Structure 1
Amino acid sequence: MKNSNYKIHIIGAGVSGLIAATVLEQNGFSPIIIEATDGVGGRVKTDIIEGYQLDHGFQVLLTAYPYAQKYLDLESLDLQKFVPGAAIYKNGKQILIGDPLRDVSLLFSTLFSGIGTFSDKLKILQLNHMLKKKTLSKIFSDKEQSTLSYLTDFGFSIEMINDFFKPFFSGIFLENKLETSSRMFEFVYKMFGEGYAALPKDGIEAIPKQLAQNLKHTTFKFNTKVTAVKDGEITLADNTKLESDFTILATDANDLIENLKNQALKWKSCDTLYFETENRTIRKPLIGLIPKEGTLINNIFYHTSLATSKKPNKELLSVTVIENQKVNNQELIDRVSEELKELCGISTCRFIKHYKIPMALPELADLRYEMSPSETRLTGGLFLAGDTQLNGSLNAAMLSGERAALGVIETISSNIS
């Protein structure tokens, strides 16, 4: 049978599904992607509202991700880089800290910031040096502990942990106790150190859109919901049954496969609120952190501190809330507005949009970096992809999509031989 004659379906047009299609195309196959919504991207989406680019949640691309370098044309994404540092709001003041080795303008503010001790600053140099030499496979094979205990064991002061590490990494891990695995901390910290955090000029959805535009032999079925999957057959919401030689599930498979239905995956949630402001209180493209206990706001960012394709008249501010304290939507907006004024001195705000994101990051234990193609195989013709297989990152989404496609290709090759 010619490769193009195999019926290979991919369920989900998120990043892992698009990478799976890319790898299948590279090997002469013509897959079909079935997507429940009207477009690609999955959790990686951007809306245009009132002339502003609003990403679904505050997301960034780390340019050092190995699989981003492998599968994305980073140059044509027109990446806008963040300054490597943060603006910390403490005791009514804004304090800038960062990596002066990468941005010399942050040298004096970092040295004299009052954030952390001199010993903490030496420890950061030590951590940078240690992780530069440590391979990704070593990071993910080392014993796991919580990020909080890791930082404590490393010798960082409580002040440094509370003022910088906790607010910064809570925004990445979407939990504010730093219970996330030390493997994830080391991985993310290493990626920040070896590249930049960046956003495409068109917003975060430019990433899946680029992947989709590069597909030449893939058929897309949008607005098509799958309700069940088994070897050889896919059932759609309208009870249509599709024959499938091989199926890659690049979405949460637990509701679709009979024997997985009691293994529901847990997800971390967050809220992202967008406001329009008259001016910026943070001039550089730096993330703003709120280390104060009990606040709703975890971090803020002026998206208009980076170049965007849309040219709005005013400034766009995003606010990330990790723990919404179970307040209703209007109360959340009101209290966030109060905190912006009280803690950050930002008073001229007009609310634009609130994104409630219940499935922002998978809650995973025993985090891994790598998997073999055969490990993605669930049954004879079913394969699993998605960051839920490894760790919650764009890199893991891409890697798992590649491995699932290679698993299908290996199975076909072994059947032929």
Structure 2
Amino acid sequence: MPEHARNADVVIVGAGVAGLSAARHLVRAGIATVVLEAAGRPGGRMSTEEVDGFRLDRIARPLSTAYPELRRTPALEGLVLRPFAPGVLIRGEDRFHRIGEPRNVRRARGARSARGALRAARALAHTPRGPRAGWSPRVAGPIGGPLDQARLASALARLADTPVERLLARPEVPTAEALPARGFAPRTVDGFLRPLLSALLCDPELTTSSRCADLALHAFARGRLCLPEGGAQALPDRLAASLPPGTVRTGVRARTVSTTRVGTEEHGEIRCRAVLLATDARSAAELLPGLRVPDFHPVTVVHHAAGEPPLDEPSLVLETERRGPVAHTAVVSQVDPSRAPAGRSLITSTVLGAPPPGLERLVLAQLAELYGTSTRGWELLAVHQVPDAVPAMPAPHDPRRPVRVLSGLYVCGDHRDTSTLGGAIQSGHRAATAILTDLAPERSRPPERLAA
């Protein structure tokens, strides 16, 4: 490590999205900052590995174009987002139903009459053709008839127009208890909202705070589900590239922290004026005993390669009746062609909760039934099991947990806000603001004027 990097105003431990966001704010304010990352590249859980020309995400979580942090972060302006279009594909009772683009949801905002609501419902939902030639599902949908579809379109439109402050002021209960009280038909709740929120929150039991679920549905109604082009790693790579050369130091593992120095494994001590822990919650608690470690939702991501795509549209496929371990799946190469070599298809499936024995066999059997095609020739590329993938957010949940432990020592991450990309970026912003406030020099009082 260069000598000038051994002394800094602020040392950030962890080069995930939260730490990189905080570093960018500090650097822009003229604060000498060093970011230490134990891994070989930045990104944390938003990492992507390359296998035989395929780009495989460690945690395959869809983003939303409605995340305000994506628009407010200049370093991410050039990030290309590939949408799931035209929307979400639901399979239930051997039937497929598609929830269309969010812009169709916004058409329902002006629908005050029953006829207008039904028109919005027809724009929102329709039955697609079968995933493969010669196979067509029965014309019906798991979210109910036209009246239920109209109620769903109207409810999503109202939610899209509701300010975030009002959503956070609602009474807080577990999501599973809140959904029936939101005005949705029971068939819509079981056929669409439960599988969708399970995928967005990585919580199959829906124990998450209803406020966090409302925020997730708010983003779904206002934007489009998408994936970063080139893999999830593209997002932290852009944040790291926006920092001055030498700011991010990979392969440096922190062992001790205090308000004025960080002890590393192989590079000695780094002196500073403040330390920010931007690691995951468990690693932060190891460096700073006493920090509360939340529960986590485990996630397992299974990547398969195939020749012909089993689905010729870039949709996120959900299932109302869980006939296997997969909660949601997608032909990712249809969403983002850069993730697979030419002539090959990449199918990514997500298992929520602890993976069962015989995972690969069960996943292939479920995907064969779901896509309506044989999976015998599919190649297993990778299985990523992440026990601490997503911090749990049960009710009551504080989306703005303190980032200042004491003056000179701070902590940030999605475990301090909401366990989403937006929560991680917002947490880094809050931590940087607290550091700048504490490091600001005290203004000296002007001398008093002598009496004439």
Q: Flag whether TM exceeds 0.5 (same fold).
A: yes
2:257 to 223, 229, 234: 229
In the TM superposition, residue 342 of structure 1 has moved relative to its aligned partner by 2.9
Answer yes or no: is 1:321 the counterpart of 2:351: yes
1:57 to 59, 64, 67: 59
Match of 2:286 in 1: 255
In the TM superposition, residue 136 of structure 1 has moved relative to its aligned partner by 1.5
In the TM superposition, residue 207 of structure 1 has moved relative to its aligned partner by 0.5
What does 1:300-315 correspond to in 2, within 5 Å? 300-310=329-339, 311-315=341-345
Taking structure 1 as reference, are residues 201 and 38 closer, same or farther at Cα in structure 2, changes over 3 Å only? same
In the TM superposition, residue 368 of structure 1 has moved relative to its aligned partner by 4.4
Structure 1 unmatched ranges of 5 or more: none
Taking structure 1 as reference, are residues 108 and 363 closer, same or farther at Cα in structure 2, changes over 3 Å only? closer
Letter in 2 for 1:362: P
2:187 to 159, 162, 169: 159
In the TM superposition, residue 217 of structure 1 has moved relative to its aligned partner by 5.8
Does the CA contact (< 8 Å) of 1:86 and 1:286 recur in 2? yes
CA-to-aligned-CA distance 1:275-307 (integer Å, 9 cap, x gap): 112323332211111222452111110011123
Taking structure 1 as reference, are residues 347 and 93 closer, same or farther at Cα in structure 2, changes over 3 Å only? farther
Q: TM-score, normalised by structure 1?
A: 0.89
Letter in 2 for 1:21: A
CA-to-aligned-CA distance 1:104-132 (integer Å, 9 cap, x gap): 8865428x632223342232123223222
Aligned-residue identity in percent: 25
Letter in 2 for 1:226: A
Answer yes or no: is 1:89 the counterpart of 2:91: yes
Letter in 1 for 2:389: A
- 3-state SS of paired residue (2:177): helix
Distance in 1, matches of 2:387 and 2:167, equals 29
Match of 1:136 in 2: 164
- 3-state SS of paired residue (1:318): strand
Does the CA contact (< 8 Å) of 2:75 and 2:242 recur in 1? no
What does 1:111-130 correspond to in 2, within 5 Å? 113-117=140-144, 118-130=146-158
Distance in 1, matches of 2:313 and 2:256, equals 49
Distance in 1, matches of 2:155 and 2:398, equals 21
CA-to-aligned-CA distance 1:214-266 (integer Å, 9 cap, x gap): 11165222111112222212222358333221011111321111333xx3332
Letter in 2 for 1:350: E
Q: TM-score, normalised by structure 2?
A: 0.83
In the TM superposition, residue 155 of structure 1 has moved relative to its aligned partner by 3.4
Distance in 2, matches of 1:42 and 1:281, equals 31
The farther-off stretch of 17-26 and 362-371 is 362-371
Match of 1:283 in 2: 312
- 3-state SS of paired residue (1:317): strand
Count of residue pairs brought into register by the alignment: 405
Match of 2:127 in 1: 109
What does 1:4-15 correspond to in 2, within 5 Å? 6-15=8-17
Distance in 2, matches of 1:225 and 1:178, equals 36
Letter in 1 for 2:367: L
Letter in 2 for 1:224: V
Does the CA contact (< 8 Å) of 2:18 and 2:412 recur in 1? yes
What does 1:174-189 correspond to in 2, within 5 Å? 174-189=202-217
Answer yes or no: is 1:219 the counterpart of 2:219: no
2:40 to 38, 42, 65: 38
The farther-off stretch of 9-18 and 318-327 is 318-327
Match of 2:68 in 1: 66
- 3-state SS of paired residue (2:45): coil
Distance in 2, matches of 1:220 and 1:7, equals 14
Distance in 1, matches of 2:221 and 2:310, equals 26
Distance in 2, matches of 1:315 and 1:346, equals 14
Structure 2 unmatched ranges of 5 or more: 1-6, 106-121, 129-138, 445-452
In the TM superposition, residue 416 of structure 1 has moved relative to its aligned partner by 5.7
Distance in 2, matches of 1:239 and 1:82, equals 45
Distance in 2, matches of 1:165 and 1:7, equals 47
Answer yes or no: is 1:295 the counterpart of 2:307: no
Taking structure 1 as reference, are residues 308 and 135 closer, same or farther at Cα in structure 2, changes over 3 Å only? same
